[in-house]
Amino acid sequence: MEKKYISKWQFFTLIYAYILSHELTRGAYIYYYRHSSWIPILLAVPLSCLLFFIYSFIYKNSGSTDFKTAIEKVLGKFFAKIFFGIYFFYFLFIIILKLRDVGELVQIYIMQESSFLMIYGFYLFAAVYCAIKGIEVIARYSGIVFFITFTSFILFYILLFLVNEPDYGNLLPFMPDGFLHYVNPALKMAYSVPLGELFGMLVIFQHVRPEQKKKDFKTAYIGIASMGAMMLLISLTNIIFLEPEVLILGYTPIIRLWRRIDVEDFIQRLDIIVINILIMNLIIKTSVLLIATKAMADGIKETKKNKFLFYSVIAVIFIILLMLFVPDYTKLINLRYKVFIPYVKSVFEVFIPILIVIISFLRKKTSKPKKNNLNTTFSKLPPSSA
Amino acid sequence: MKRIIIIALFITSLVFTGCTDKREVDDLIIATAIALDLNEEGSLELSIQILNVHSVGNRPMDAAPVVVIAETGRTVQEVLRKISTIIPEKLFFSHFVLLVIGEELAREGILPYVTFFAINQDALHRFNIAVARGCKGKDVLKIVSVAAHVPSMSAEGKLLETSKYYGIGKYYTNDEVLSDIRSEGISLSLGSIQIIGDPEKGSDLENRKKTDLEAYTKASTIAVFKKDKLIDWMDEEESLGYNYISGKIKNSYIVVTKGDGTFASVQVMKVNSKTKPILENGKIKFKISISFLAEITEDLSGETSHDNAYVRDILERTNYEIRLLCEKAIQKAQTIKADIFGFGRLLYRKKYKLWLEIKDRFEEEIFPELETEIVVQGKITRVKP
């Protein structure tokens, strides 16, 4: 029988994988902020935590541990269905963007001659398989990936410092254009790449083991903060080892950086390992978003019995959409940074969630809250489900 | 459900056996070095040194270890595609170690070509870029070597060793070159390689069978660029001075003339250099502090001494000689108005507001008149008996 719940540690590793997968497309910010690109990340960490704190009120104010129920309690059944409908398409949209990134990454760095169809097919096969197996399996997988990622990063960064000479001068001048110049990118980074797009994780939060639920919001903040620290470290090492003018070549500077590791022509080409790590984390993010999509679809109409069919149909739709509508990656990159992040993701990751939270507060005020509502709901859940 | 998954896995395992994009090692056409030149018509000429896999390793030395093929075109990509008409497989670029740029092309500008290799995914590894001094890059690739079987390895080794253990050359990778060209406040400088002897005879395998080589490649002095165009060459002393200021020397030597007119050799090691901008009464000045460890290794008077006065005398003369080399290097750079030391970059990093005011006239007006203070302070740790 499928296990529905995950531990707080597993939730932490999911957040870790979810955010780390954003490393793939972070280069565009570096183009504009070059040696100062670490500053907006530093500013984005508390903002991202704050945003997740705001999201948490959707559960807290509704007194429900189930996302569907929480939204229905806040918006009412009719508006909840509309909400699930638009977020269903929003999550699909994010997955399509991720798939296109993966296709580009694999075709440029690993399999130049392979068709996109084959790359998408294999990638989706892995992600859909994880999604069918359920959140608990994905969480266990992310636990393994977490250790692989963490160990690899420690080992290879040690090698990087041993083999290459860092130039700390690359970090200067400090904030040459003033502090305000970094506020806008910090906001964007907090709700989109690399520290955002976390509304999907809020949907996954319903699967966190109930008895630990109160603590697990803290786990999310710790997860975001530690991934922020990790992203900061990656940014700083990118800058001190790669010259600022070289940083901007390509969207994934970490790949160029890892290629710098060359121990006596013996240990080299570690970029392939970092690409594999990124893909492993991307599979986790995609399968998490697939589960979130399924949750949205369930919000509209229960599809529990056709899980395999649901994901298969979704996968085929993805491939058709990708092959038909997004062949031009340059156009997609431009759209992503000029339209999607400022106008689409801001709406779905910031404005709509904040609106729901405001409504939840208003509802809470108008209706008398029951004491220990949250605890009562937890106690209703069977202990075996954990 | 499980059955469907198993069947799906089985079918995919039959269709995709992990051999997508497979390239057998034996079939790889490995590029070991690339040269870029201008031909007589002014078009780009790209030459590739390809490893002859059948003659490397423990195989007879009478077959050429490499083959050099060349084509011309308007862009690098065009030439590479033209080369595919000559070779049977796709070129494998992931192991080339040297990019040689002919002097004529270097004078015209190298940025477009360097950028191509910086963004080409096959060439993201580290490789050295050098200028072919007084000759074509293609000729450098053709010269067979004795010490190393593959000529490009030999040339690369010479550049690396010369920069580390002598100090006249420079080992500079693609990323560093691109960074210097595009960054504010620094002019590019590159190592160079020249051919001694007749290039035609040097490309003949017979050359390797002689004890007195007809032609060979030699790491030469530093080429100075303005933006991406070669403008001048430094001589040996100026190149040494440049490398002392850059702190790139791991091991070199200084010959000092003693009070009695005889020479002594001092081995200089672990050179460390720090440059600091100083603002005095609105005037910019740079203080260069150089430290090193040294050993007295040779004295042509016939005997060395452990006496303090002797050691101190040699040390002071060594300090003086190094300072002289550095001054010569700075003087040369100021004469040709090329800030190869990155004084401008230091101002950009440490005195950003000042840099914004002066950046437009720095290299042409301020740098040539720039005052520098060179402090050389070494330590002699050993006197070889």
- Cβ atoms of A38 and A236 within 8 Å: the answer is yes
Is residue B331 within 8 Å of residue B325, measured between CB atoms? no
Partner residue facing A243 (CB), from B5, B21, B175? B175
* Interface of chain A toward chain B, CB-CB under 8 angstroms: 108-114, 118, 122, 125, 129, 169, 172-173, 176, 242-246, 249-250, 255-256, 259-260, 262, 268-269, 271, 308
Rounded Cα distance between A310 and A296, Å, is 12
Where do we find the tokens 């620094």? B186
On whether both B42 and B177 belong to a single domain, the answer is yes
Q: Give pLDDT, residue A383.
A: 43
Reported as a single tens digit per residue, the pLDDT across B291-337 is: 999 999 988 888 778 888 889 999 999 999 999 999 999 999 999 99
- Domain boundaries along the sequence of chain A: 8-367
CA distance A99 to chain B (A): 20
User: B220 in a domain, yes or no?
Assistant: yes
Nearest to A246 among B16, B175, B352 (CB): B175
Count Cα atoms within 13 angstroms, Cβ side, for A126.
16
Same domain, yes or no: B221 and B254? no
CB burial class (10 A; 0-12, 13-18, 19+) of residue B357?
A: exposed
Are B315 and B190 part of one and the same domain?
Answer: no
Peptide bond into A194 cis (omega under 30): yes
Q: Which chain B residues are within 8 Å of A264, Cβ to Cβ?
A: none
Dist CA A54 CA A202 (whole Å):
11
Mean pLDDT check: name the lowest of A27-36, A61-70, A226-235.
Answer: A27-36
Cα angle B332, B338, B342; round to 5: 105
pLDDT tens figures, B1-25: 677 777 776 666 555 545 556 667 7
Mean pLDDT of chain A: 84
Q: Is residue B22 assigned to a domain?
A: no
Name the closest residue on chain B to residue A119, using Cα atoms: B20
**Which of B171, B202, B233 is the C-terminal boundary of a domain?**
B233
Output DSSP code: residue A112: T
Count up the domains in chain B and report the number: 2
Asked if residue A368 has pLDDT above 70, the reply is no
At B114-151, the pLDDT tens digits run: 888 888 777 666 788 999 998 999 999 988 877 777 88
Q: Which range has highest mean pLDDT (A18-27, A154-163, B11-20, B120-129)? A: A154-163
Nearest to B277 by CA among B265, B285, B268: B285
Q: Which of B217, B233, B249 marks a domain boundary?
A: B233
Q: Among A263-267, B39-43, B81-85, whose mean pLDDT is lowest?
A: A263-267
Are both B301 and B203 inside the same structural domain?
A: no
Do B140 and B45 have their domain in common?
yes
Same domain, B224 and B247: no
Which of B1, B124, B183 is facing A245, going by the closest CB pair? B183
Q: What is the pLDDT of residue A382?
A: 44
Q: Residue B185: helix, strand or coil by DSSP?
A: coil
User: Do residue B349 and residue A176 have CB atoms under 8 angstroms apart?
Assistant: no
CA-closest candidate to residue A230, choices A30, A6, A44: A44
Domain identity same for B146 and B292? no
Distance from the first to the final alpha carbon of chain B:
84
Give, as one character, the DSSP assignment of residue A205. G
User: Is position B21 within any domain?
Assistant: no
**Tens-place pLDDT, residues B155-209:** 888 888 888 888 888 888 888 899 999 988 899 999 999 998 887 877 777 777 7
Structure tokens at B305: 């001494």
In chain B, the residue whose alpha carbon lies closest to the alpha carbon of A164 is B126
A171 pLDDT higher than 70: yes
Residue B158 lies in a domain: yes
A260 contacts on B by Cβ (under 8 Å): 126
User: Which among A113, A173, A249 has CB closest to B21?
Assistant: A113
Which residue is listed with tokens 């190869």?
A: B340
Chain A environment of B20 (Cβ under 8 Å): 111, 113-114, 118
Q: What is the pLDDT of residues B111-123, one digit of tens each?
A: 988 888 888 777 6
Give residue-wise pLDDT tens across range A50-68. 999 999 999 888 888 888 8
* Residue A333, pLDDT above cutoff 90: no
Name the token pair of A275. Answer: 């690409």
Question: What's the domain range around B357?
Answer: 237-383
- Both B114 and B206 in one domain: the answer is yes
User: Domain end: B216, B233, B250, which one?
Assistant: B233
The pTM for the full model equals 0.86
pLDDT at A34 over 60: yes
Integer angstrom CA distances of residue A265 from A152, A259, B99, B126, B165: 19, 12, 18, 11, 20
Return the percentage of chain B with pLDDT > 90, whole number: 43
Structure-block tokens of residue A12: 């932490």
Instruction: Give the per-residue pLDDT at B65.
Output: 80
Q: What digits encode the pLDDT tens for the residues B243-285?
A: 999 988 888 999 999 888 889 999 999 899 999 999 888 889 9
pLDDT band at A380 (very low <50, low <70, confident <90, very high): very low
Query: Beta partners for B296?
Result: B266, B383
Residues B188 and B243 in one domain: no
Question: Of B217 and A328, which is predicted with more confidence?
Answer: B217
Q: What is the pLDDT of residue B78?
A: 92
- Residue B357: which H helix or E strand, with range? helix B352-358
| CB contact (8 A) between residue B178 and residue A245 | yes
Q: Which residues of B touch A108 (CB under 8 A)?
A: 121
- Residue A86: its pLDDT value, please? 93
Indicate the residue type of B134. G
Q: What angle do CA B77, B82, B83 make, to 5 degrees?
A: 100
Residue B244: inside a domain, yes or no?
Answer: yes
Selection from A30, A38, A86, A158 nearest residue A352 by Cα? A86
Residues of B in contact with A169 (CB under 8 A): 346, 349
Amino acid letter for position B100: V
pLDDT at A377 over 50: no
User: Which pLDDT tens digit goes with each residue over B24-60?
Assistant: 777 788 888 999 999 888 889 999 999 887 776 665 6
Residue A262 in this model has a pLDDT that exceeds 60: yes
Would you state the pLDDT for residue A375?
46
> pLDDT at position B57, please?
65
Q: Exposed, middle or buried, B188 (CB in 10 Å: 0-12/13-18/19+)?
A: buried
Give the angle B287-B289-B293 at the CA atoms, nearest 5°.
170
DSSP B369: G
Residues B87 and B224 in one domain: yes
Q: Are B171 and B247 in a shared domain?
A: no
In a domain, B204, yes or no: yes
Q: Are residues B297 and B368 in the same domain?
A: yes
